[in-house]
Structure 1
């Protein structure tokens, strides 16, 4: 189990790093576009489409597993102070199972959308040129699936009584 946890840490950290690089690229791209538009009256074509179809999807979905691994998702622990250690484990396990089901369902649905977008070759038109956007449709199912795997590990840890 420790080897799996180390692997999950490395994968989730790698995806979070990719998300961070995507955020930095977004900031540089938008800043360059603003400068080019205001200083030279020559905006960078397709900035809006690249930001909304590439950067934002990358930033939002790839780090999900890392956020779950860090335990940084929003949670409400209203009743946890009143629970025994055993009840906390049951609660943690129940939350993990529900999260796995939700993440897996989201991964399944978004995978179907990604395959459909790939098959039809989804694109946006930018000044008469096609900008392929179908590759970004595969980022949400990847993020959701990896978050589901992290939650499976959290559920196992809850069953074993490990501190997660």
Structure 2
């Protein structure tokens, strides 16, 4: 099989993206479940004991929300599940659709890289100062959560760059997932 005929899923960068994106998406899902349990326990504590669990708001906003929003970005990009508006895209001929997808993926990858760089500098700054929040006289370190954001943006940028270089990566990802789920049943 020639290089042009090989499946996009065999490309080392795609394999690397998938091997990192899936666990990060799973971690984001685990964060969602943990947040649900934590907030439910907080509500239960308020009802049964007349007071909230300490630092629930801080932990939810500084850790869970960051996990949920940023770690699954690459998985969402890989599966072409990001919100999009395809007003003109549907009327374009196939070659223009491919070019449009490549240009959009390139621009989005650039934006993600810019965001990754900016948030990386912020994470380093927060690490250097050991950022924390005070809740009920307890210091809760928040600097670790700042590193989740550039990790999510960087992997999403790599995923978009793969889409730009090899259009159809998202369609191939959907086909791979469908094939895997059919083989499980």
**Shared fold, TM over 0.5:** yes
Matched-pair contact (CA < 8 Å) for 1:157–1:163: no
Distance 1:30 1:162 in 2: 38
User: 2:128 is matched with which residue?
Assistant: 119
Q: Residue 73 in 1 paired to residue 66 in 2?
A: no
Distance 1:150 1:162 in 2: 9
Q: 1:163 to 1:122 in 2, by over 3 A?
A: closer
User: 2:23 is matched with which residue?
Assistant: 14
Q: Residue 145 in 1 paired to residue 157 in 2?
A: no
User: 1:50 is matched with which residue?
Assistant: 59
Q: Once superposed, what is the RMSD of the aligned Cα atoms?
A: 1.5
Q: How much does 1:33 deviate?
A: 0.8
Distance 1:102 1:83 in 2: 25
The TM-score with structure 2 as length reference comes to: 0.83
Distance 1:34 1:83 in 2: 52
Give the counterpart of 2:103 among 94, 117, 120: 94
The TM-score with structure 1 as length reference comes to: 0.93
User: 1:134 is matched with which residue?
Assistant: 143
Distance 1:162 1:152 in 2: 10
Q: How much does 1:7 deviate?
A: 2.8
User: When the two structures are aligned, how many residues end up with a matched partner?
Assistant: 162
Give the counterpart of 2:116 among 107, 124, 137: 107
Q: How much does 1:8 deviate?
A: 1.7
Q: Structure 1, unaligned stretches of length 5 or more?
A: none
Distance 1:162 1:9 in 2: 11
Matched-pair contact (CA < 8 Å) for 2:112–2:153: yes
Q: How much does 1:13 deviate?
A: 1.2
Distance 2:42 2:170 in 1: 47
